[in-house]
Structure 1
Amino acid sequence: MSKRGASLQNKGQRGARRAAAEREARVHNGPRGPGKPPSRFGGWLRRALVWGAGIGGVGLVSLLIAVVLAANSLPGYSELQAIQTAQTIVVRARDGTEIVEIGPSYGEWLRFEEIPDSMKNAMVAVEDKRFYSHFGIDFYRTAAAVIQSFTKGERIGATSSITQQLARNIFLNSNRNLDRKAREALLALALEWKFSKEQILELYLNKVYFGGGAYGIDSASRKFFSHPATELSIGEAAIIAGLVKAPSRYSPTADVQAAVDRATVVLRLMQEQGYISADQAQVDISAVQLKQQSGQNSVRYFTDWVLPQLDLFLPETAEPIEVWTTLDIGMQRAATAAIESNTPGAAQGALVSMDRDGAVLALVGGRDYVASNYNRATSAQRQPGSAWKLFVYLAALEAGYVPEDTVVDEPVTINGWSPRNANGRNVGETTLRAAFAFSINTVAAQLGNEVGFGTVAAMARRFGITSQVNTLPSMVLGTSEVRLIDMTRAFAAVSAKGRSVEPYGISKVTTTSGELLYRHATPTQSQLVPDYVIAGITDLLQAAVQTGTGSAAQIGRPVAGKTGTTSSNKDGWFVGFSSGITTGVWMGRDDAKAVPGLQGGRAPAQAFAAYMRYAVKDRPVEEFDVTLNLPDWLAEPDEEALFGDPDEYYYIDENGNLVEPGRRQPGQGPLLPDGERTPLPIPPYNEGRPPRAPPAASDEFLQQATGGPTPP
């Protein structure tokens, strides 16, 4: 090659290298042009992306390994079919009699192809619409719930897929914590890895809980519709699918309208997701024929109250157990009969009865458990009316009143509020005992105003009222809503001589082999008020039954109690005690409409008496101790002690001057035979007085100590 050709070739190579360098510079320098250093932020961003991708990759590989390991450790399909996670519980009365056995009810196992399409589609539509497309976790649904929680400040709602629910039902508990949710998610991914969608849905529909002890769609179908699940209609399938979210709330045997409303939501979702047509979605759910169930003993109200308490003191276990309760079978029957026979019209009735130690002997939460399992004895909050005056008079007695004190029944206005008596009249002067016995509203208002409405509220809290208490003047007439079991507890504390009472219903829990898992320990009791206050309030409560508004509660032995009636006869109460047993009765409508003729002194007091005649028949008659042993500061002093004798001890005269022992008061002469003294002219202030005692410190010392001259 010639020199000229070689030179051209070298120049071409140098040009190529220069062009490559310029391209590289443009890549590094970007729009800043050549010669400028690369951005520090860009470098950090690139490194963060690289590290993030690396960590994400490692995490993904680790998750994949964990899922594979979990899937390999899962039982086989036939083993999962055989797993039963529900617990059998035998509930016994206080004498050991078995009163109910609560446990799982399983129907026939239905294979995937045997389950009606309407049932499968309804469940997927309402519980997990992306079931057939996700891998066990609906990440879209979860992310949307998290975003909504952050933007609207709401708690993250239920986001578990069908597979996650299955994992929880078979392997885990229902605790809402991060550890359980993480394990649930891992198991869901493992289930999806190991089993097909059809197998997972088959397991789910045969194992999910539908309430009332029914596990699986076949058991639920037989319980609610009296036929196997293979015959389910679209409307029936919608009702069953709607139960999963809240079996007790949407149960058609507890609240038909709630079940219908929920099923309507299921049908709408099925239509939106294309499982049924608009015509099929117009099913008249209310026309679905439910299985007619025979009446159940009201003992279920009691078991509904006590069994959830097992979670508080028992370790998590699926082992069969026996729960020994405080329930008395005979008293429960008497309580049920008393409510059924005395509750008027369309009203509901409830009763709670407890022993002096807080043991609940009988509990009725309504007239018919099958028609409504809502527990009005432990859950409903209603205004107690004049039964609330227990706390007003407790506060007045603690402040120094006694039953014989004179009070005035007269018109009164407090902060613009003017209470009226039930009969519209005022009787003028009367005793505290009579005012309580005849439930005079104006006197209660005056007492509450005098001791302080906050003091009355605090007294109610002291005696076990747990619901919200207002401090408006009208609160003295029972405008704050309370629970029947709390009011009964308060009266039980009075029966227990002022000591605190904690209601309880479980005495012990054992395994079926007899191993003791739990025994009730008597809590430390505190004295709520002094003995003289209890004696006074017992006097008043006894008078209310003997001569006042509660006379219908008399049973032929001492009874102390109080009636309560709210405005327009919406609520009627009677709460009282005798021979160590305290019983509270409430009657009214669930919709709080007026019940004609309902008054605390009539139907509730009559139901109380009907029950208590049986409850105390084997107990000795107990007279109430109403003797007032007042403390010194409340004892009425005699005239001598009040004014004193100057020859015996110090006292203050009417001018506020200290009179020493043996000294005459200014202006008094010698003591005459009739006990009087000769009046004398009152001398000037210092005349005739002894010289002042020398000061404890000299003026010089005080001047040095205070840094200035002493005052004259």
Structure 2
Amino acid sequence: MARPARPRTTPRVAPRIVPRVEPPRAAAPSRPEAPRRRSPLRWLRRLFLLSIWGALALGAALLVLTWDLPRTDIALSQTRRAGVTLEASNGAVIATSGDVHGEVVRLRALPAHLPAALLAIEDRRFRQHYGIDPIGIARAAWVNWSSGQISQGGSTLTQQLAKNLFLTPERSFRRKAQEAVMALWLEWHFSKDELLEIYLNRVYLGGGAFGVDAAARLYFGIPATRLNLWQSAILAGLPKAPSRLNPRTAPDAAAGRAAEVLAAMVDVGSITQREATLAAESIRLATRPSRDSGWFADWALDDVIARFPGNADLVLRTSLDLRVQAVVEARLEALLSGPGARAGVGQGAVVVMEAETGLVRAMAGGRDYRTSQFNRATQARRQPGSAFKPFVFLAALEAGMTPEDTVSDAPINLGGWRPGNGGWRAQGQITLEEALAHSVNTAAVRVLARGGGARTVTEVAQRFGLPGPFPRDATLALGTGEVTLIDLVAAFAPFANGGLLPEPRGLVTARADGQAVPAGRPTLLRVTTPERAAALRGMLESVVARGTGRAAQPPGFRAVAGKTGTTQDFRDAWFIGLTPAPRGMSGGALVMGVWLGNDDATPMADVRGGTLPARLFRDILEALPQ
């Protein structure tokens, strides 16, 4: 059965919703917004917090800067190295060691121009600032910037004092900040006059001198209370560069700096232009009295610590005669520069000693102390050659022989060793005096045997202060042992001193912290009889009168004695001489020793003891004050 047809339907469509549009409303008139008010308490709170954090930051910075600073009470009274001032026989300062301090001077006791000079050149605003000078820093910065180099510093005198008392010379921002902190501390605890007084007593002024009194005594030989205007200008200029402006070693630089100080004093009104001109024209800086007295100074200071224990400041008056020292230096240099250079002589040493006292009046340990501090007079051990023969012949005299006894000068052969006689022509038999005068080797070997052999001669040499080492065979007769020049000079002294051996010494008087202390007395040791010493002295006079030492005899001099010495291949040449003491020296006789050679033992060109060394002895003797 057929279904009935369904009616057709149309799909449903959702009704369209049209939004309702509201009619525009009229805009309400705008009203100006009132400014937001900030509470004053907020600003106060921020300022308070900022202050707290600033204080904490400052405290932290100060803590970082000051945690390793030294205690001020210790730094102001800290100990120092004992100072030693070495003076020549006339009182002139020849050397200093340690920290040399003079008397503590009060500001009121000093001439007014000394502190005035210091402030004019170092810190013109010292009386106005409080340890740090912003104006001075700005001025220095401007000058350095405009000149393109660091030519001025901004440190105040108080900052310099803080650095010298408490800090190190390290260059860093932290050290400069610490310096500023300590400068403020100093200004808080001391008055301006007290700070200036501390500075003048503590500042380093070169040459080991701390304080103006030590420097015045070192450079001018007077206390600081007696300084004149140009001397004060010299000292005031030294803190800038104590070594470079040292008036003893750089007189021209020191005088130029003093002129700058005087000009600065005129600028600030401390002195007039006329006073500055007169002071500049009056500057007289003596050159260093001795260029090479450093060898003597080193030798004289060698055992000071052991002889003078403690921490006292020492002033030691020595035996060094600057007149004699100057002659020795000049003559030695002239010989080495002239005939010595042509003969291949590179070095030399000279010792001048009083026979009776052992006082060393002059010492040259080489050619130039500035290039070599090795002392060839006291440290170099060399073979003395025939300069050793007097002790061989003295052993024979002590064995009973006399200068008139004879000995063979014929050739000799000892187990294949055949000593030569140079240009000496054998005569058969000669006296002991002739054998020594002409330094005959074969005769000396026979004299050694007659005197008891090498052992006996070694004992004689050691008795005379020559420790050796010495060979134990017949070569000892020709001086194959080792000696120093100063020991050999002292060993010759008994031949002019009645058989008494002096100890070489350089100190005469001593003061410790201004008080006299014992410096030691001359020690004389009897090493032979006066008769044998006189006999040997007569034989040594024959060496100079008609033997190998004729070149050492100055015209018009009497009783000059000595002995020449030459080692194998002309490696060493010696002359040790005796002469009456010149005027102005104590003791009856003078002993002078000369050595020429090369440090590496390079042979010289036919240089014998009777040539250049004897000639140098004569040149020095002729130039000494008589």
Query: What TM-score comes out, normalization by structure 1 length?
Result: 0.49
Match of 1:609 in 2: 618
Match of 2:300 among 280, 296, 306: 306
Distance, in Å, in 2 between the alignment partners of 1:501 and 1:418 is 37
Distance, in Å, in 2 between the alignment partners of 1:407 and 1:567 is 24
Match of 2:484 in 1: 483
Match of 1:541 in 2: 540
Match of 2:91 in 1: 96
Shift of 1:402: 1.4
Shift of 1:335: 1.3
1:315 aligns with 2:309: yes
Distance, in Å, in 2 between the alignment partners of 1:416 and 1:598 is 28
1:338 aligns with 2:338: no
- Counting only pairs closer than 5 Å after superposition, residues 485-634 of structure 1 correspond to structure 2 as 485-511=486-512, 513=514, 515-523=515-523, 525-555=524-554, 556-579=557-580, 580-615=589-624, 617-618=625-626
Counterparts in 2 of 1:464 and 1:396: CA distance versus 1, 3 Å: same
Counterparts in 2 of 1:604 and 1:81: CA distance versus 1, 3 Å: farther
The answer to whether the 8 Å contact 2:383/2:479 transfers is yes
Which amino acid in structure 2 is aligned with residue 494 of structure 1? F
Match of 2:435 in 1: 435
**1:542-585 C-alpha deviation (Å, 9 max, x unpaired):** 00000001011112221110000111111010001111001111
- Counting only pairs closer than 5 Å after superposition, residues 377-388 of structure 1 correspond to structure 2 as 377-388=377-388
Counterparts in 2 of 1:568 and 1:315: CA distance versus 1, 3 Å: same
Shift of 1:494: 1.2
Match of 2:320 among 299, 319, 327: 327
Counterparts in 2 of 1:223 and 1:444: CA distance versus 1, 3 Å: farther
Distance, in Å, in 2 between the alignment partners of 1:528 and 1:92 is 32
Match of 2:82 in 1: 87
The answer to whether the 8 Å contact 1:295/1:370 transfers is no
Match of 2:368 in 1: 368
Distance, in Å, in 2 between the alignment partners of 1:381 and 1:562 is 18
Counterparts in 2 of 1:77 and 1:495: CA distance versus 1, 3 Å: same
- Whichever of the two has the greater Rg, that structure is 2
Which amino acid in structure 2 is aligned with residue 581 of structure 1? L
Distance, in Å, in 2 between the alignment partners of 1:295 and 1:340 is 16
The answer to whether the 8 Å contact 1:342/1:604 transfers is no
Question: Secondary structure of the residue that 1:541 maps to in structure 2?
Answer: helix
The answer to whether the 8 Å contact 1:587/1:604 transfers is yes
Distance, in Å, in 2 between the alignment partners of 1:348 and 1:375 is 11
Distance, in Å, in 2 between the alignment partners of 1:326 and 1:337 is 19
Distance, in Å, in 2 between the alignment partners of 1:296 and 1:612 is 19
* Runs of 4+ with >4 A deviation: 77-84, 103-108, 211-215
Shift of 1:527: 2.4
**1:403-442 C-alpha deviation (Å, 9 max, x unpaired):** 2222211011224322111227423222211111110000
- Counting only pairs closer than 5 Å after superposition, residues 65-144 of structure 1 correspond to structure 2 as 76=71, 79-80=74-75, 83=78, 85-104=80-99, 109-111=168-170, 113=172
The answer to whether the 8 Å contact 1:464/1:486 transfers is yes
Unaligned runs of 5+ in 1: 1-73, 117-210, 228-293, 619-712
**1:169-208 C-alpha deviation (Å, 9 max, x unpaired):** xxxxxxxxxxxxxxxxxxxxxxxxxxxxxxxxxxxxxxxx
Distance, in Å, in 2 between the alignment partners of 1:471 and 1:213 is 49
Q: How many residues align?
A: 377
Counterparts in 2 of 1:402 and 1:114: CA distance versus 1, 3 Å: farther
The answer to whether the 8 Å contact 2:549/2:614 transfers is yes
- Counting only pairs closer than 5 Å after superposition, residues 457-476 of structure 1 correspond to structure 2 as 457-476=458-477
Shift of 1:112: 6.9
Distance, in Å, in 2 between the alignment partners of 1:349 and 1:447 is 31
Distance, in Å, in 1 between the alignment partners of 2:76 and 2:603 is 53
**1:144-169 C-alpha deviation (Å, 9 max, x unpaired):** xxxxxxxxxxxxxxxxxxxxxxxxxx
The answer to whether the 8 Å contact 1:349/1:585 transfers is yes
**1:632-668 C-alpha deviation (Å, 9 max, x unpaired):** xxxxxxxxxxxxxxxxxxxxxxxxxxxxxxxxxxxxx
The answer to whether the 8 Å contact 2:96/2:207 transfers is no
Shift of 1:100: 3.2
Shift of 1:390: 1.0
Distance, in Å, in 1 between the alignment partners of 2:563 and 2:90 is 32
Counterparts in 2 of 1:512 and 1:606: CA distance versus 1, 3 Å: farther
Match of 2:391 in 1: 391
Shift of 1:472: 1.8
The answer to whether the 8 Å contact 2:502/2:522 transfers is no
Distance, in Å, in 1 between the alignment partners of 2:614 and 2:511 is 39
Question: Secondary structure of the residue that 1:500 maps to in structure 2?
Answer: strand
Match of 1:141 in 2: none
Question: Which segment is superposed worse, 472-481 or 77-86?
Answer: 77-86
Match of 2:141 in 1: none
The answer to whether the 8 Å contact 2:290/2:325 transfers is no
Which amino acid in structure 1 is aligned with residue 525 of structure 2? S
Match of 2:353 in 1: 354
Which amino acid in structure 2 is aligned with residue 504 of structure 1? R
Shift of 1:398: 1.2
Which amino acid in structure 1 is aligned with residue 590 of structure 2? I
Distance, in Å, in 2 between the alignment partners of 1:94 and 1:354 is 14
**1:100-149 C-alpha deviation (Å, 9 max, x unpaired):** 34445999943374799xxxxxxxxxxxxxxxxxxxxxxxxxxxxxxxxx
The answer to whether the 8 Å contact 2:290/2:322 transfers is no
Shift of 1:526: 3.3
Shift of 1:587: 0.8
Which amino acid in structure 2 is aligned with residue 307 of structure 1? L
Counterparts in 2 of 1:424 and 1:355: CA distance versus 1, 3 Å: closer
Question: Secondary structure of the residue that 2:565 maps to in structure 1?
Answer: strand
Counterparts in 2 of 1:431 and 1:115: CA distance versus 1, 3 Å: farther
Distance, in Å, in 1 between the alignment partners of 2:412 and 2:307 is 52
Counterparts in 2 of 1:212 and 1:415: CA distance versus 1, 3 Å: farther
Question: Secondary structure of the residue that 1:448 maps to in structure 2?
Answer: helix
Shift of 1:81: 9.0
The answer to whether the 8 Å contact 2:577/2:593 transfers is yes
Match of 2:14 in 1: none
- Counting only pairs closer than 5 Å after superposition, residues 203-222 of structure 1 correspond to structure 2 as none
Which amino acid in structure 2 is aligned with residue 604 of structure 1? P
Which amino acid in structure 2 is aligned with residue 510 of structure 1? R
The answer to whether the 8 Å contact 1:328/1:361 transfers is yes
The answer to whether the 8 Å contact 1:467/1:483 transfers is no
Query: What TM-score comes out, normalization by structure 2 length?
Result: 0.56
Shift of 1:341: 1.6
**1:687-709 C-alpha deviation (Å, 9 max, x unpaired):** xxxxxxxxxxxxxxxxxxxxxxx
Distance, in Å, in 2 between the alignment partners of 1:114 and 1:339 is 53
